[in-house]
Homo-oligomer: A and B are copies of this chain.
Amino acid sequence: MLNFALFGAGRIGKMHAQNLQAFVHSNLKYVYDVHAPAAQEVAKATGAKVAESVDDALADPEVDAVLIATSTDTHVELIIKAAKAGKAILCEKPIDLNTATVNACMEEIKDCDVPIQIGFNRRFDPSHSTAAKAAHDGSVGKLEQVIISSRDPGMAPVEYLKSSGGIFRDMIIHDFDMARFILAEEVVEIQAFGSALVDEKITEIGDVDSVMINMRSQSGRLIHINGSRRASYGYDQRVEVFGSEGMVISDNQTPTSVVRYNTDTTGVKDPLFNFFTDRYGAAYNLQLTAFIENVLAKRPVSPSFEDGRRAQILADAAQRSFDTGEKVKLTW
């Protein structure tokens, strides 16, 4: 049994709380949020206690693990505190918007021997992970190309996106991690194209809303990521793995298996899932299960802090390529 303290009781925090309570091998002991009513709501629904402070929760020796679901700018501070308190850590992505801060954090906790897992939930999606497995086990022969489509159902207001770190670090970071997960090697060249096609105002904050990125890996494999802040038909999430002996596509999903035949159209299905908690519900669940099982069994957790750091290096490189208009080379 793993006793948890949950930091952050917003939308994602609540979902994690529910999973922690439903699992047999986890127990949500504390919840903390800077906004007290949010913490109280989660506490009431799950039977957890509201922690007075982060430090209080970390001081309890019965707490084995922390789940960090606070705002991005607090991640590093909480990771350092929890690591120094010897707790296992599951932290939402990204570690921080600034890679220098991530590196400093790494340095700071380098002697803390605690498991740290970063919340790249999509690695645990049963469909994406099956596609990745096909790349790893030779089902598609020798891996040659990877294509990732990543379109959000709707764009947040530009005002809100100001502090997002930009589309590459905020949104596409998931896809950089997916590329690394599938490739099982590093990217050495990256070129990013971007445009403001959804909302021109995005240019006022120096960002774009539509991107296409090409990458080349150490062994010469080619990777494409395309992203948009808005897909009118829902949350468009596809992964294509192409190799010498075949192709595996992790395709989009609809809530039901209903197919309609009307006068003017046939094969009509429901709209795609419209939000990540629906589309990736199973993935969030499996992510938490893996963390709990691995920590309990003292096995390494994955994706690791280093995986989180490397995805950010790719996001930085994409940003730099977009800013300069030039291809960026990476050495590892």
Contact = CB atoms under 8 A, between A and B. Distances in A.
B145 A234 contact: no
A251 to B, nearest CB: 4
State the number of copies, please. 4
Contact of A233 (B24, B226, B266): B266
A228 interface: yes
A221 B197 contact: yes
Interface stretch (A174-182, A269-277, A296-304): A269-277
A33 interface: no
Contacts of A269: 265-268
A292 to B, nearest CB: 16
A144 B228 contact: yes
A249 B258 CA distance: 6
Nearest to A190: B193
A270 B260 contact: no
Interface stretch (A84-92, A158-166, A239-247): A239-247
Interface size bucket, A side?
35 or more
Contacts of A228: 144-145, 242
A259 B266 contact: no
Contact of A126 (B147, B256, B263, B266): B256
A327 B141 CA distance: 32
Given A212-B145, A258-B251, A269-B266, A222 B193 contact: yes
A208 to B, nearest CB: 9
Contacts of A323: none
A193 B189 contact: yes
Contacts of A106: none
Interface in A270-288: 270-272
Most buried by B among A141, A246, A264, A269: A246
Contacts of A142: 197
Contacts of A251: 257-259
A266 B245 contact: no
A197 B251 CA distance: 25
A258 B130 contact: yes
A108 interface: no
A150 B215 CA distance: 18
A131 B266 contact: no
Given A45-B24, A263-B233, A212 B220 contact: no
Contact of A212 (B210, B214, B265): B214
Contacts of A272: 261, 266
A232 interface: yes
B222 A226 contact: yes
Interface string A88-109: 0000000000000000000000
8 contacts: A141-B232, A191-B193, A197-B222, A210-B222, A213-B214, A232-B262, A247-B261, A251-B258
Interface of A: 22, 24, 45, 126-127, 130-131, 134, 139, 141-142, 144-145, 147, 149, 151, 189, 191, 193-198, 210-216, 220-224, 226, 228, 230-234, 236, 242, 244-272, 325-327
